[in-house]
Amino acid sequence: MKAKKLTTPLTQGKALSLKAGDRVLLSGTVYTARDQAHKRMTETLIEGRDLTFIPPGATIYYAGPAPARPGRPIGSCGPTTSARMDAFAPALMAAGVRGMIGKGERGGNVVDAIKTFKGVYFAAAGGAGALLARRVKSARVVAYEDLGPEAVRELVVDDLPLIVAIDAHGNNLFERKKR
């Protein structure tokens, strides 16, 4: 099966065209965020303020990259466990986030939110940080610099290899495959 080329930002139409099990090469802009950034972003939303650094239709990459060597945009940059972000993900989707990249299964609340907001959850190969880093063309911190590896970074990526794990129709690769 050939991989589909996909560019950000994700629209509702693009999300609906994806099926669980599709291999995707994603190009464009993604935003890294993990535990502490999710906690802060959710607090901002609860206070009724906007997340100015994340545009509508954004894709969040659950990752905390290793530092870059001089001359390189980024260090090792693979996905972290998505389930830890489950409690925060629906609120972020309600605020406009459409795509999520991480590793491992998601809770029922996230599967429901993906259906409601016509989003998509991609699985990246867990532990393939060196390979994934090669697909990152540039990186800059856009929020929470004090969090170090957990800061929100805007990454420009080229052909990031992903697998559609949960699609907008509610198909869930982890459900189907887990006997």
Please identify every residue annotated as catalytic.
Answer: 38
Give whichever of 53 and 174 is closer to other proteins, judged by the CB atom: 174
Positions touching other proteins (CB under 8 A) are 1, 21, 23, 36, 63-69, 72, 75-78, 80-81, 83, 103-105, 123, 125-131, 133-134, 148-149, 161, 163, 165, 173-174, 176-179
Q: Compute how many residues bind ligand SF4; rule: CB under 6 A.
A: 3
Cis peptide, bond prior to residue 9, ω within 30 of zero: yes
User: From the CB of 101, what's the least distance to ligand SF4, in Å?
Assistant: 13
Does residue 126 bind ligand SF4 (CB under 6 A)? Answer: yes
Q: What does 44 bind: ligand SF4, other proteins, none (CB cut-off 5 to 8 Å by kind)?
A: none
Does residue 170 bind ligand SF4 (CB under 6 A)? Answer: no
CB-based contacts of 39-46 (< 8 A; 24+ apart in sequence): 39/88, 40/144, 41/88, 41/92, 42/88, 42/91, 42/92, 45/91, 45/92, 45/95
Residue 132 buriedness (CB in 10 A; 0-12 / 13-18 / 19+): buried
User: From the CB of 132, what's the least distance to ligand SF4, in Å?
Assistant: 11
What is the C-alpha separation between 60 and 85, in angstroms, rounded?
11
What is the C-alpha separation between 69 and 156, in angstroms, rounded?
17
Interface residues with ligand SF4 (CB under 6 A) are 78, 126-127
